[in-house]
Amino acid sequence: MGFPCNQFGGQEPANEAGIKDYVSETFGVTFPMFSKVDVNGANAHPVYAYIKEAGPDYAVDVEWNFVKFLVDREGRVVKRFKSSFDRDMLEQSLEQYL
């Protein structure tokens, strides 16, 4: 699931339709894209408030766009990947929790 956010250097100034078009055309995104949200601060979306509270050692702000969180089938936050993540590590983690 993708949650666009414009809190990081103004990188997501487009409207939601424009963002969806851009990521599908540029990156081939097929997963659900949701409305633009805040991920940090007093107006953080409840999904991010939960993830930051529930994940092990994740109770810190999201530091940049494209941070990924892995949630298992029971809704537990099990991993956090920084923007510059190791794709192999991500794939291994996904396979482990499938």
Write the CATH number for 58: 3.40.30.10
Residue 7 inside a domain? The answer is no
List strand residue ranges (DSSP E) for 1-98, in order.
68-71, 77-81
35-94 residue pLDDT tens: 899 999 999 999 988 888 887 666 688 888 888 888 888 888 888 888 777 788 888 888
pTM of the shown model? 0.78
Residue 92 confidence (pLDDT): 87
3-20 residue pLDDT tens: 999 999 898 889 989 999
For residue 31, give both structure tokens.
């997963």
Residue 5 inside a domain? The answer is no
Residue 47 inside a domain? The answer is yes
The conformational region for residue 66 under phi > 0 = left, psi -120 to 50 = alpha, else beta, is: left
Looking at residue 91, its amino acid is E
Residue 74 inside a domain? The answer is yes
Residue 77 inside a domain? The answer is yes
Q: How many domains does the chain have?
A: 1
For residue 67, give both structure tokens.
């941070």
Residue 11 inside a domain? The answer is no
CA–CA distances in Å: residue 26 to residues 6, 30, 72:
18, 11, 28
Residue 59 confidence (pLDDT): 67
Residue 4 inside a domain? The answer is no
Residue 70 inside a domain? The answer is yes
